Structure 1
Amino acid sequence: MILVGKGTVITRDETKPLIKDGGVVLDGERIVKVGDYETLRSEYPQAELIDAKGQIIMPSLINMHEHIYSAFARGLSINGYNPNGFLDILDGLWWTIDRHLTLEQTYLSAIATYIDCIKNGVTTVFDHHASFGAIEGSLFKIAEASEKMGVRSCLCYEVSDRDGEEKAKASVKENADFIKYAAQQNNDMIKAMMGMHAQFTISDKTFEMCRENMPEGVGAHIHVAEGIEDLHDCLHKYGKRIVNRLMDHDLLGPQTMTAHCIYVNEQEMDLLKATDTMVVHNPESNMGNACGCPPTMRIFQKGILTGLGTDGYTHDMFESYKVANVLHKHSLCDANAAWGEVPAMLFEGNAKMANRYFNIPLGVLKEGAAADVVVVAYDPLTPLTADNINSHMLFGINGAMTQTTICNGKVLMKDRELTVIDEAKAMADCRQAAAELAHSING
């Protein structure tokens, strides 16, 4: 049993959003009680104390769209890479990396990413993996890293015809094998989806193969209309828009997650709403790839369940919160835009989406919810109240301010020191693997 306190507890529970001088009691994988620190300490004298030092105590964060395989791209220079548009970025950088990744490099990419996640207060990750140089067993290597690091993960492999039919089949099989594996686990720490790249690299035949290997309760995790090229391809080849093509293959629904949705129209939004399909917004990636600004405010306002991801661009969800806020203000020329929508996506939408796969309540500090808690070093300059929590989050906090990270009742980091791995050795191994990957790409 652990008592985290005392500090200012931000619960994300509407019935009791803020507790001054509060604490949280954890017993195993669940929260036992949230309340006044001194009262909790007298009620649970045997609990191990995690000293919050008067700082912020809040639910750990959820990233709804990650790319672990991109970890070693940071600082990577590829000979001859001079992209002219989104398709050149995909083929020249990302597909080049994934074609060269070994299983060991995939594992270490996961270790590096999970280290960053823990240090930024993220304990639940929905990852979308690709390693066409080593497909078989790749999701299992990520799961191995996930278990070692103690991070809750929902994994999938990116099915695509871009490297031929045999690799597409192998990709579907990797998903199918891992879906079976995840279903057999007796914990709420690992889940699986059917991953797909995007419709413009997937034939009807491959879509059908994916659908045949999706058991009840498992949906697709797919990029949708990330670039205008994706829409043009669908219109040219199939005479329909992207969301309609997915509907025709019976891929939409409450368990399916569509990433980006930049070039979707009103009819497609209505179809996403009618099928209760999820949408993930990835603001920094969209801006960095010059793909455009998605109609996320419209998507959200239609009542489509919408969340926030990083697309591997960062592992700091606060950073994505800040960028999404200014992106939509700038794009709409409306200083009032995104104040309510973006924090609702991050702190409410992500939890609702994640709980379509994970059973234990996530993203909230209340009795019975997941023992996923972070302590953040933030000393507010102005009064922090139940009414201005999100304003403080937006303008005052970033992920690197996370001091202690707990997931499933296990302390992963305490006072900025990782407890689950020798960080220095792990990072040395990752740097070596990154150098080997760069050498294999550039020769």
Structure 2
Amino acid sequence: MLLIGNGRLLSLVPGKPYQEDGAVAIDGDLIVAVGPTAELKARYPAAEWLDARGMVIMPGMINTHMHLYSTFARGMALKDPPPTNFLEILQRLWWRLDKALTLEDVYYSALLPLIDCIKSGTTTILDHHASPYAVTGSLEMIARAAMETGVRTCLAYEVSDRDGKEIMRQGIAENIAAIKKYRGKEGLISATFGLHASLTLSDATLEACREAEGEVGSGFHIHVAEGIQDVEDALAKSGKRVVERLAVNGILGPNTIAAHCVHVTDREIAILKETGTLVVHNPESNMGNAVGCAPVGDMLAAGVPVGLGTDGYTSDMFESLKTANVLRKFVSGDPGAGWAEVPAMAFENNRRIASRFFPHPLGRLEPGAYADVILVDYQAPTPLGRDNWFGHLLFGFNGGLVDTTVVGGKVLMQRRRLLHLDEAAIAARARELAIKVWERF
């Protein structure tokens, strides 16, 4: 057993989110008790002791839309004219980069951001992968990286028509194999069925994916109305907007993640609500790609479960939290906006979304939940308590303050030192591979 205590406990459990001196008892990969430090030390005298030394003890952060494969784009210069819209960003960058990846590239491009997750306190990610010329085995490479780093990961391969029927069929098979191997099982890895976006999926392919998914009942993970081009394409193909088209084709539902949903109407929001579809807001990516801002306030008010992701822009969910807050204020023109919506997305809805893909609860420090715990070395300059914890987290926390990261009861980082990984050696090999990727690009 492991006992983490002598810290300010931010459990995020409704009604009792904070206690001044708390501890977490862990048996295997699950939390078995939460309470005052003295009480739990007396109850579990033989447990291994991890002293929080007054730091904040809280659940690890969850990222519900991530692209690990984007790693090798960092620092790469495009020789083309700068993209002027979202479709050109896809065509000139991402749809060329993913074609340049080998299976070894997939593995190393996953390792580095997963290490960044550990260092910034993100303990669970829902990844969305593409490598059209290295489809078969690609999700297993990501699973290998996740298991070696220790970060909880849900896999998905984004099926599309843009590289031909054979690669499309390989993508379907890759999703099904991963879902059968990992979904609903104990351990760090889960899987769902990835789709790219409406604009790269024909009705025939959507039907093929729906039929294949019917075998496993996984739901889908798909980009939805991220750029206006997705809407224009859906209207041209079907006379329907993106959400409407996906609903008619049986893609939406309570286990489906619709990432982005920037360009959606009130009617589409109603469809998302009616189908129980999960939405993920990615504020930094949407700003960086200049596609607009999702109507998160309207979706949340309608009862749509909207979570928070990074779309590969960062591994630091504290960063995404801050961006979501200021963007919500900027777009609405209301300085009071975001105070309720952002913690709902980052904590309640991310917990709800991620828990669909793993057999035990996530995102809270409570008995029965996964033992995914971080210690944050935050020295509060003002009183910190149950009623103002989010203000402290929003304006005082960042990934660089994470001292210790524990996933599934295993200590991955302590006092900012990775315990099981040689980051320098991994980064050195990644740089060697990146040169070759850039040459192929």
Identical aligned residues as a percent: 50
Provide the residue aligned with 2:311 in structure 1: 311
Q: List runs of 5+ in structure 1 lacking aligned partners.
A: none
User: Can you list the C-alpha shifts for 1:212-261, whole angstroms capped at 9, x where unaligned?
Assistant: 11134301100000000110111122101111111111111100000000
> What secondary structure does 1:39 align onto?
helix
**CA separation in 2, counterparts of 1:81 and 1:188?**
45
**CA separation in 2, counterparts of 1:419 and 1:91?**
40
Deviation at 1:198, TM superposition (A): 0.5
Provide the residue aligned with 2:199 in structure 1: 200
User: Can you list the C-alpha shifts for 1:390-429, whole angstroms capped at 9, x where unaligned?
Assistant: 1111000011211100011111111111122112211212
Preserved CA contact (<8 Å) 2:179 2:216: no
**1:128-207 equivalent positions in 2, closer than 5 A:** 128-183=128-183, 186-207=185-206
Preserved CA contact (<8 Å) 2:255 2:277: yes
**CA separation in 2, counterparts of 1:93 and 1:142?**
21
Deviation at 1:316, TM superposition (A): 0.7
Deviation at 1:186, TM superposition (A): 4.2
Provide the residue aligned with 2:286 in structure 1: 286
> What secondary structure does 1:111 align onto?
helix
Q: Quick check: 378-387 or 171-180, which moved more?
A: 171-180
Letter in 1 for 2:242: I
Task: Classify 1:3/1:81 alpha carbon distance in 2 versus 1 (closer, same or farther; 3 Å).
Answer: farther
**1:43-122 equivalent positions in 2, closer than 5 A:** 43-122=43-122
**CA separation in 1, counterparts of 2:39 and 2:332?**
48
TM-score (norm 2): 0.98
Q: List runs of 5+ in structure 2 lacking aligned partners.
A: none
User: Can you list the C-alpha shifts for 1:42-61, whole angstroms capped at 9, x where unaligned?
Assistant: 22221111121101000001
Letter in 1 for 2:188: M
**CA separation in 2, counterparts of 1:50 and 1:344?**
30
CA RMSD of aligned residues (A): 1.2
**CA separation in 1, counterparts of 2:21 and 2:189?**
34
Provide the residue aligned with 1:38 in structure 2: 38
> What secondary structure does 1:213 align onto?
helix
Deviation at 1:81, TM superposition (A): 4.8
Preserved CA contact (<8 Å) 1:188 1:359: no
Provide the residue aligned with 2:210 in structure 1: 211
Provide the residue aligned with 1:365 in structure 2: 365
Provide the residue aligned with 2:7 in structure 1: 7
Letter in 2 for 1:299: M
Deviation at 1:169, TM superposition (A): 1.4
Preserved CA contact (<8 Å) 2:226 2:260: yes
TM-score (norm 1): 0.97
Q: 1:419 and 2:431 equivalent?
A: no
Provide the residue aligned with 1:300 in structure 2: 300
Letter in 2 for 1:40: L
Preserved CA contact (<8 Å) 1:188 1:360: no
**1:229-248 equivalent positions in 2, closer than 5 A:** 229-248=229-248
Letter in 1 for 2:208: M
Q: Quick check: 155-164 or 427-436, which moved more?
A: 427-436
Preserved CA contact (<8 Å) 1:81 1:92: no
**CA separation in 1, counterparts of 2:321 and 2:54?**
25
Preserved CA contact (<8 Å) 2:176 2:216: no
> What secondary structure does 1:350 align onto?
helix
**CA separation in 2, counterparts of 1:15 and 1:342?**
18
